[in-house]
Amino acid sequence: MAECVLAILPMSALSSPMQVQLSHPARTVEVKGPKKVKDLLRELNLVVEAHLVIKGDDLVTEDEMLYDADQVEIRPVISGGSPHVPPHGSRLTSQK
């Protein structure tokens, strides 16, 4: 009679890697979890303080854990404005 061997695998071996959607340039990469957000950003050579990470519909912090099968989006933090706009309440006047 043939022997039956049952292998017990960790859940991470059964699930697909997390899908990470990036912009600038737009692309999707697969990354194995689990890992912290900050470790994911470092693995992708991204500056932690310069990126927002969204898991599903939720913004997550750098210490939150990400797991295989998570849907993750990474967006760069964009700030700035026009240097030509005067502060509120001030007026541009020409001096002659």
The band of 12, judged by pLDDT with boundaries at 50, 70 and 90, is: very low
- Each residue of 13-72: pLDDT tens digit? 556 899 999 988 899 999 999 999 999 999 999 999 999 999 999 999 999 999 999 999
Q: Which CATH number fits domain 15-76: 1.10.1740.10, 3.40.50.10420, 3.40.50.720, 3.10.20.30?
A: 3.10.20.30
pLDDT value at 85 more than 90: no
Residues sharing a CB contact under 8 Å with residue 32, sequence separation 6 or more, in sequence order: 12, 17, 18, 68
Q: What are 82's two structure tokens?
A: 């026009």
Instruction: Tell me if the pTM is above 0.75.
Output: no
Instruction: Name the residue ranges covered by the structural domains of the chain.
Output: 15-76
How far apart CA 42 and CA 64 sit, in angstroms, is 14
When mean pLDDT is compared across 3-12, 62-71, 74-83, the lowest value belongs to 3-12
The four Cα atoms 13, 15, 19, 20 give a dihedral, to 10 degrees, of: -50
How far apart CA 19 and CA 66 sit, in angstroms, is 11
Among candidates 74, 70, 71, which has minimal Cα distance to 12?
70
